[in-house]
Amino acid sequence: MMLSAGNGFIMQSDKYSRYNAGQSLKKYILLKKGELAYNHGASKAKQFGCCYELLEDEALIPYVYHCFKVDKNEYTPYVAFLLNNPKIDRQLKRLVSSSARMDGLLNISFKDYMSINLSLPPYAEQKQVSDFIKRIDERIVIQEQLISSLKKYKRGLINEILSERVKLSSDKWITCRIGDFLCPKSVKQLPSEDAPLMAFTSTSGVCEKGERYDRGFLVKDVTTKMYKRTDYGDFIYSSNNIDVGSIGLNLYGSAVISDVYEIFSIRYADPWFISETIQQKKVIHNILKYRQGCLYGQYRIYAEDFMSVHIRVPTLNIQKKIGSIFSQINRRITSEQNLLYLLEKIRASLLQQLFI
């Protein structure tokens, strides 16, 4: 097994799709249940490494991890929570003698790691706090599983309906061009209070640039550069990023976004039906046939090519029935994702307040 920031102990095969040890176990340590390991590798999620308790009976882990167990007078889960708290990073930062090595490991020795100062309450309080956080973690896992199940159900239902295996009426489906239902929008303006500067992804929809790129501070000339305007219900796709999912409806409202996005208003069709139809694998595959090379090694799909791709559609009345089903599922998924976000926020806030 190995340590993953944010996930704890995971199987090596989950990370690398294979078992790395081969026939040699010389570079692995046998860790027992209840013992801890510190991975002093820098990552985006945990800049100064991560520490977790092994919950399985035993596991072989890479020898480069710092392994140890907690004194019997202290509660192991509490110590594990505490060692992963961002406030401990301040001490770890002082211990780093130089930048990460070629293998990504920080130069924090076992002796240095053991020198970290911890403030521990009585055992009973440690257990009470840890058990409460554990219940929140269990609830978060349940919420994640629910969202995953809803998304799987949505994919299955969409495939059934759009493959015409589910008959909602005797009406026949006809083949049309995407452009028969989309009208390009090219209005440009500066960011304003009613149309702030945003980005777009299929997972988050229209969202703050900092959330999309984690580098919102790099945006330049915000007060002078003209951006494309989008409004609620518009269909958007990134002309050079469609194969990784930057495509879907604007459910946020008025905003301005980069001109790498193509923006359309939807006409003569149900927005939800058209959006989900265009995002089907078969349609995306046909769209990607028009992908052309451009500067800086990026690809581009021009709007006129995008709109020439064919899709199959029923009558507008049936589109609305199907679109209503899709929108209800999406609203449920969004609601559950918001609850997950709230749970994660509560957990983070508690950890920040408890581990002073």
Residue spans per domain, the chain: 2-120, 121-160+314-356, 174-313
How many angstroms separate the CA atoms of 66 and 197, rounded?
A: 45
Phi–psi pair at 275, nearest 5 degrees: -60, -50
State which H helix or E strand residue 300 sits in.
strand 299-300
Q: Tell me the sheet residues that pair with 51.
A: 38
Residue 215 has what pLDDT?
44
In the numeric block, the tokens 């939807």 are attached to 266
Two domains, one topology: 121-160+314-356 and 174-313: no
Query: Which residues of the chain carry a pLDDT beneath 50?
Result: 17-19, 22, 211-218
Q: How far does the chain reach from its first CA to its final CA, in angstroms? A: 31
Residue 265 has what pLDDT?
96
Q: Tell me the sheet residues that pair with 79.
A: none
Report yes or no: 75 and 143 within 8 Å, Cβ to Cβ. no
Give how far the C-alpha of residue 181 lies from the chain's centroid of Cα atoms, to the nearest Å: 31
3-class DSSP assignment, residue 208: strand
- The 10 Å Cβ neighbour count of residue 237 is 24
Residue 100 has what pLDDT?
53
- The 10 Å Cβ neighbour count of residue 236 is 23
Its CATH architecture, for the domain 174-313, is Alpha-Beta Complex (3.90)
Residue 213 has what pLDDT?
46
Question: Was domain 121-160+314-356 assigned CATH 1.10.287.1120?
Answer: yes
